[in-house]
Amino acid sequence: MANTMMIQHMFKLNGLYKTPDGKVLKVVCSEVYNLRCFEIVNGNMVGGMIKIHPTSELAKSLVEVQ
């Protein structure tokens, strides 16, 4: 049996996460090879979609916003 990661359990769908540089990202889709996010500014999604590999250093540095 292959060892697969359950990315869906690592990041909450529609969850907000802060990056090390202070940006807040909303996860709109969580897949094995991509976290699809949008930056949130003043409660609104801005800019284009941001794709982050879920095992990247950036993904590991995301902190959930309560």
What residue type is 17 in one-letter code?
Y
1-25 pLDDT per residue, tens: 445 555 555 788 899 999 999 999 9
Q: What is the pLDDT of residue 7?
A: 52
22-57 pLDDT per residue, tens: 999 999 988 778 899 999 999 999 999 999 988 899
Residues 66 and 12 sit within 8 Å (Cβ to Cβ): no
